[in-house]
C-alpha cells in the first residue's frame, strides 16, 4: 500500500503516550516494521488505488481484513484531484483488503457490487464473525434501512441475508452514521446516532444467534448539536464512544464519552486529546480497533478523509495511533509513522511533518482563526485555491499592514528543515517564512518579491536545542500587497 519495509534488531523504538522517544529492550531478533504514510492516496500491493471509505476492520488470526465502500466519485477525484470535490456518492462496490502489517494491503476482491446490491445510499460498513453460525456478517446502511450480508470466509463473496427497516427505541426509527464493534467475549454491537438530526447516541446488540438483526437501542448520550462517524474502542475495561461534529463530509475534532459498561452509564463528553490542532488530522471518525502484540498495544484510529466530497486535502484514509495516559486517550496526529503489528508498537516516522493543519484544510470554511495557528494582526485569513486541496493561508489588505501567523511546535531536539509553497505580490517591506525560538537565531526565507505561481521555499538547518520551534509567515506590507502560503512542512533532517 504505502510503504517501505524496514528491519530493526534488538531495540525497538516505542512511543506510548507522547511524541518523546522511549526505547524498549527486546530479545535479540529481527522484527519487520512497516511505514504508514498519510496525506496521500493509498495504493494496494498491486499498485492500484485503495478505495475503502466508511468501513471497518476485523482481525482473523494474524490477518487484518478491511472492508469499506468504493464510491464512483472517489475514482473521479483520484484521477483529477485538481478538478475539485464532486457530489458523486453513487455506489460501486464494497471492497475487501487484507494485511498482516497494517501498512501493505492486498486487494482480496469485492464483497458485493452495485449490480448485486442496488440502492441509492450504501455505506458505513462493518463485519463481525458470529460464533454460533461461524458466518462472517457484514452490516451496511442501504437507503433508509440496513442490509445484512454473510460469507463463510472473511475474504469471500458476501450474499444478501436480510434487511431491517427500523430499530426499536430509536427516535427516528433508524441509524445515522454507524460502525460495528466486537467485544472481547465475541458479542457484537452497532454503534450509531439517529438518522436526521443525529442528536441521540445509541448502542444496540446484534442478535446473538446469527447477527442478522439489530436489537432494541440503548440511548447512552444526547448531544444538542449532533454527532456522526460513531465508533467505539476499548482499553483496560473502559469503553470509549467517539464521534465527530455534524459537518457533513468535513473534518472535525473528535468527541468522546466513556463507560465501564458498553450500555452505560457514560461520562460527560470530552474532546479527544490531540484532535483540536488539525481536526483529527483533517479527518472524520471512521473506524477503530486495538492492535495487540508481544510488546505492547495501541488503538488504531482510522479517519475518513472525504476529499472526494469535501475537498479536504489528499487521500481518503489517514490512520494514526491512539495511546493512553492512564484512562485518558491521546490521539497522535502524524503524517508518517512506523508500526510493528506483531509487537504492537509504533514510532514516529523519519519523514513526519510536525506542523498541524499545514495546508489550512481542517477548517472547511472561510475564516481568520485557523485550527492550530495563532494570528498577530487582523489581516490573516484563509483563501480558496491552494497548492493542494481547497485552501491556503492568506495575508492581504487594502491598507498598509503588519501581520504574523505562527504555530509553536514541540519536537525532539535535532536538526529540521522547514518548507512551504508560496505566492506573493511582492513589494512588501518584509515578507518571510520563518523558524524561531528553537534555541538559535531566527532563520527565514524572504518572499517579498513577485511570485506568480506556486513556488517552494525552504529554511534548512534549524537546530532545535530546547524541544520547541515556532514556524510561520510574517508580512510588513504596503497597501495592496499580499502573500498566499500553503503546505507547510517541518521534517527532521
Give the domain extent around 436.
Answer: 374-492
Q: What is the mean pLDDT of the chain?
A: 93
Residue 359, domain member (yes or no): no
State the total domains in the chain: 2
Give the per-residue pLDDT at 116: 95
Judge if 93 and 220 occupy the same domain.
yes
Place 268 in a pLDDT band, splitting at 50, 70 and 90.
Answer: very high
Residue 357, domain member (yes or no): no
**Residues ≥6 apart with Cβ < 8 Å to 139:** 125, 126, 127, 128, 146, 147, 148, 149, 178, 180, 190, 206, 211, 214
| CA 374 distance to own-chain centroid | 23
Judge if 315 and 447 occupy the same domain.
no
Judge if 44 and 161 occupy the same domain.
yes
Q: Measured on CA atoms in the order 334, 339, 341, 343, is the torsion positive or negative?
A: negative
DSSP single-letter state for residue 359: T
Give the per-residue pLDDT at 82: 87
Decide if pLDDT at 19 tops 80.
Answer: no
C-alpha cell at 309: 466530497
CA 397 to each of CA 88, 351, 479, 484: distance values in angstroms, whole numbers, following the listed order: 38, 36, 6, 12
| 20 DSSP β-pair partners | none
Give the per-residue pLDDT at 31: 53
Greatest mean pLDDT range, 146-150, 310-314, 384-388: 146-150
Decide if pLDDT at 458 tops 50.
Answer: yes
Yes or no: say if 201 and 211 are a contact pair by the CB < 8 Å rule. no
d(CA 317, CA 304): 5
Give the per-residue pLDDT at 115: 95
Per-residue pLDDT, averaged over 179-188, amounts to 98
For residue range 153-164, list pLDDT tens digits in order: 999 999 999 999
**Residue scoring higher pLDDT (312 or 440):** 440
212: left (phi over 0), alpha (psi -120 to 50) or beta: alpha
| CA 293 distance to own-chain centroid | 23
CATH code of residue 239: 2.115.10.20
Give the per-residue pLDDT at 169: 98
Decide if pLDDT at 23 tops 80.
Answer: no
Residue 290, domain member (yes or no): yes
Residue 110, domain member (yes or no): yes
d(CA 87, CA 13): 43
**Residues ≥6 apart with Cβ < 8 Å to 267:** 257, 258, 259
Radius of gyration of the CA atoms of the chain, in A: 23
Judge if 191 and 297 occupy the same domain.
yes
Yes or no: say if 266 and 243 are a contact pair by the CB < 8 Å rule. no
pTM: 0.92
Decide if pLDDT at 26 tops 80.
Answer: no
Per-residue pLDDT, averaged over 93-101, amounts to 98
Decide if pLDDT at 476 tops 50.
Answer: yes
Residue 435, domain member (yes or no): yes
Amino acid at each position: 500500500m504505502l510503504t517501505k519495509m524496514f528491519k530493526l534488531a534488538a531495540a525497538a523504538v516505542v512511543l506510548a503516550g507522547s511524541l518523546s522517544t522511549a526505547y524498549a529492550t527486546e530479545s535479540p531478533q529481527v522484527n519487520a516494521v512497516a511505514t504508514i504514510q498519510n496525506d496521500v492516496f493509498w495504493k494496494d500491493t498491486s499498485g492500484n488505488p485503495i478505495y475503502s471509505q466508511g468501513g471497518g476492520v476485523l482481525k482473523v488470526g494474524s490477518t487484518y481484513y478491511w472492508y469499506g465502500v468504493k464510491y464512483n466519485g472517489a475514482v473521479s477525484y483520484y484521477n483529477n484531484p485538481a478538478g475539485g470535490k464532486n457530489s458523486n456518492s453513487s455506489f460501486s462496490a464494497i471492497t475487501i483488503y487484507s494485511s498482516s502489517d497494517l501498512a501493505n494491503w492486498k486487494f482480496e476482491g469485492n464483497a458485493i457490487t452495485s449490480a448485486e446490491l442496488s440502492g441509492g445510499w450504501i455505506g458505513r460498513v462493518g463485519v463481525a464473525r458470529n460464533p454460533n453460525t461461524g458466518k462472517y456478517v457484514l452490516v451496511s446502511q442501504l437507503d433508509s434501512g440496513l442490509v445484512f450480508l454473510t460469507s463463510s470466509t472473511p475474504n469471500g463473496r458476501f450474499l444478501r441475508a436480510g434487511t431491517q427497516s427500523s430499530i426499536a427505541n430509536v427516535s427516528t426509527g433508524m441509524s445515522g452514521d454507524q460502525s460495528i464493534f466486537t467485544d472481547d467475549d465475541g458479542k457484537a454491537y452497532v454503534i450509531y446516532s439517529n438518522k436526521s438530526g443525529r442528536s441521540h447516541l445509541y448502542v444496540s446488540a446484534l442478535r446473538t444467534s446469527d447477527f442478522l438483526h439489530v436489537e432494541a437501542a440503548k440511548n447512552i448520550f444526547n448531544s444538542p448539536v449532533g454527532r456522526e462517524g460513531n465508533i467505539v474502542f476499548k482499553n483496560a475495561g473502559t469503553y470509549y464512544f467517539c464521534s465527530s461534529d455534524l459537518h457533513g463530509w468535513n473534518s472535525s475534532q473528535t468527541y468522546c464519552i466513556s463507560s465501564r459498561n458498553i450500555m452505560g452509564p457514560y461520562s460527560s463528553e470530552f474532546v479527544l486529546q490531540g484532535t483540536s490542532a488539525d481536526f483529527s488530522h483533517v479527518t472524520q471518525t471512521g473506524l477503530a480497533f486495538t492492535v495487540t502484540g508481544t510488546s505492547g498495544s495501541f488503538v488504531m484510529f482510522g479517519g475518513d478523509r472525504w476529499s472526494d466530497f469535501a475537498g479536504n486535502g489528499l487521500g481518503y484514509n489517514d490512520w494514526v495511533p491512539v495511546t493512553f495516559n492512564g484512562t485518558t486517550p491521546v490521539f497522535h496526529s502524524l503524517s508518517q509513522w512506523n508500526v510493528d503489528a506483531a509487537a504492537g508498537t509504533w514510532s514516529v516516522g523519519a519523514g513526519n511533518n510536525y506542523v498541524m493543519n499545514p495546508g489550512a484544510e481542517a477548517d472547511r470554511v472561510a475564516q481568520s482563526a485557523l485550527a492550530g495557528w495563532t494570528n498577530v494582526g487582523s489581516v490573516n485569513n484563509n483563501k480558496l485555491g491552494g497548492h493542494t486541496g481547497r485552501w491556503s493561508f492568506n495575508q492581504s489588505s487594502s491598507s498598509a499592514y503588519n501581520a504574523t501567523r505562527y504555530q509553536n511546535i514541540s519536537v525532539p531536539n535535532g536538526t529540521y528543515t522547514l518548507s512551504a509553497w508560496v505566492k506573493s505580490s511582492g513589494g512588501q517591506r518584509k515578507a518571510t517564512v520563518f523558524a524561531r525560538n528553537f534555541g538559535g537565531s531566527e532563520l527565514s526565507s524572504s518572499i517579498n518579491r513577485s511570485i506568480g505561481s506556486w513556488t517552494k521555499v525552504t529554511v534548512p538547518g534549524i537546530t532545535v536545542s530546547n524541544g520547541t520551534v515556532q514556524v510561520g509567515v510574517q508580512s510588513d506590507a504596503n497597501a495592496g500587497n499580499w502573500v498566499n502560503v500553503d503546505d507547510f512542512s517541518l521534517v527532521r533532517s
